[in-house]
Amino acid sequence: MKDCVLIINPGSTSTKLGFVDGEGKLIWEATLKHEGEGAARMRDLVDVRAAQIAELLDQMEAPLTPKAVVGRGGPLRPLQSGVYLVNETMIEELLSEKWSSHPSNLGAPLAKRFAALWNVPAYIVDPVTVDDFVDVARISGVPEIARKSRSHALNIRSCAFLAANEIGKPLPETRFVIAHLGGGISVAAVEGGRITDVNDALLGMGPFSPERAGATPLEGVVDLATSGKYSVKELKAYLSKSCGLKGYLATNDFREVEARVAAGDEKADLIYRAMIYQIAKEIGAYAAALKGKLDALIVTGGLANSQKLIAQLKEYVGWLGRMIVYPGERELEAMGQGAFRVLRGQELPKEY
């Protein structure tokens, strides 16, 4: 029987499960749908979802025995990249929603619950609050505002490991610009596997995306904020969930936008090209942060499945050198790879 680890990735209406083998490949996966959870407390949802996961695992025709269980890392305090052992402090902060309320808060508690069944360790890998910024990257230009590290850290770091292996260079010696292109967009300078600078992928920085506003002229934001049209909460939701492609074209479905472009929709074509233009400018900025010394530009995320997007992006940034494309988010595989780095002694787990 192959060595494997169990991955638990909770979302708002579903939980993705997978067994990942030592080669980083999914050997089994399933998605549980959740209905009627409503406003249930995070603590109560652990029991609810654990029961559903247990029922699904019991139905497997050929049960697997994992060497570890990995949960999706939820919002925690800013912390170094890496693999963390799940402990009671982490679980309490996630279930009390100390830092934020998000479905991924359930990842670590569920991992701990199922790890106990097999008497194996429980981990999280590169949660969203990974912060390896260099000092100058924190300075915003406004004394009351510090730049935050909020990115697709799990997939970005996983791609750094993959690319280091592909180019045959030890990870600590690598320098990449990595662009994760999905519903949100992260473009990062990655040195030695550490995200030393990245745009805020949630609110207020970087290119616009299928849903997010990205970097927006400040005067316009101030005018919107004081217009009386939005409360602070409503404005943050609008800028992070209803702008970008969705705001201009009334859809966040990138495939639909490409179809409209192909059919001759001039507005869709303009907005499509503008998003690629902004992504290219952001890539150039992070290449500058690495002083132009990079081993490769890596493009990943769901939008990287588009050959049209990749071709147009190359027209802008092909001069940077090698481009490596890893389509999709690969979250389950990335968590599994992190666990195996620890299980094989290639990396030491960190304590939260």
pLDDT tens digits for 113-132? 999 999 999 999 999 889 99
Tokens of 148: 């935050």
| Cβ-contact 97, 104 below 8 angstroms | no
CA atoms of 71 and 10, how far apart (whole Å): 8
Per residue in 312-323, pLDDT (tens digit) is: 999 999 999 999
Q: How confident is the model at residue 17, as a pLDDT? A: 97
Per residue in 222-280, pLDDT (tens digit) is: 999 999 999 999 999 999 999 999 999 999 999 999 999 999 999 999 999 999 999 99
Looking at the predicted structure, is the pLDDT value of residue 83 above 90?
yes
- Arithmetic mean of pLDDT, 152-165: 96
Among 13-17, 87-91, 99-103, the least confident range:
99-103
83 contact partners, CB below 8 Å, separation of at least 6: 123, 124, 125, 126, 338, 339, 341, 342, 347, 349, 350
Q: What is the mean pLDDT of the chain?
A: 95
Tokens of 75: 């919002």
Q: What is the pTM of this model?
A: 0.92
> What are the backbone angles phi and psi of residue 197, rounded to the nearest 5°?
-165, 145
Q: How confident is the model at residue 13, as a pLDDT? A: 86
Sequence spans of domains, the chain: 4-131+332-351, 153-328
Question: Roughly what angle, to the nearest 10 degrees, separates helices 88-95 and 42-58?
Answer: 110
What are the contacts of 306-310 at 24+ separation with CB within 8 A?
306/254, 306/258, 308/258, 309/181, 309/276
> What are the backbone angles phi and psi of residue 310, rounded to the nearest 5°?
-60, -40
Q: What is the CATH number of domain 4-131+332-351?
A: 3.30.420.40
Q: How confident is the model at residue 1, as a pLDDT? A: 64
| Cβ-contact 176, 296 below 8 angstroms | yes
CA atoms of 149 and 158, how far apart (whole Å): 17
Looking at the predicted structure, is the pLDDT value of residue 38 above 70?
no
CA atoms of 303 and 311, how far apart (whole Å): 12
Give the percent of the chain with pLDDT over 70: 99
Q: How confident is the model at residue 40, as a pLDDT? A: 73
Other beta carbons less than 10 A from residue 145's beta carbon: 10
Taking alpha carbons only, the member of 134, 160, 138 closest to residue 147 is 138
Pairing label, strands 14-21, 83-85:
unpaired
- Arithmetic mean of pLDDT, 143-167: 96
| Cβ-contact 171, 296 below 8 angstroms | no
Looking at the predicted structure, is the pLDDT value of residue 42 above 90?
no
| Cβ-contact 186, 130 below 8 angstroms | no
Handedness of CA 133, 134, 139, 144 (dihedral sign): positive
Per residue in 321-331, pLDDT (tens digit) is: 999 999 998 89
| Cβ-contact 335, 20 below 8 angstroms | yes
In this prediction, residue 39 has a pLDDT band, given cuts at 50, 70 and 90, of: low
The domains spanning 4-131+332-351 and 153-328 adopt the same CATH topology:
yes
Report CA 246 to chain centroid distance, whole Å.
20
Task: Name 270's bridge partners.
Answer: none
Burial class (CB in 10 A: 0-12, 13-18, 19+), 26: middle
In this prediction, residue 217 has a pLDDT band, given cuts at 50, 70 and 90, of: very high
Q: Which CATH class is domain 153-328?
A: alpha beta
Tokens of 28: 């089994």
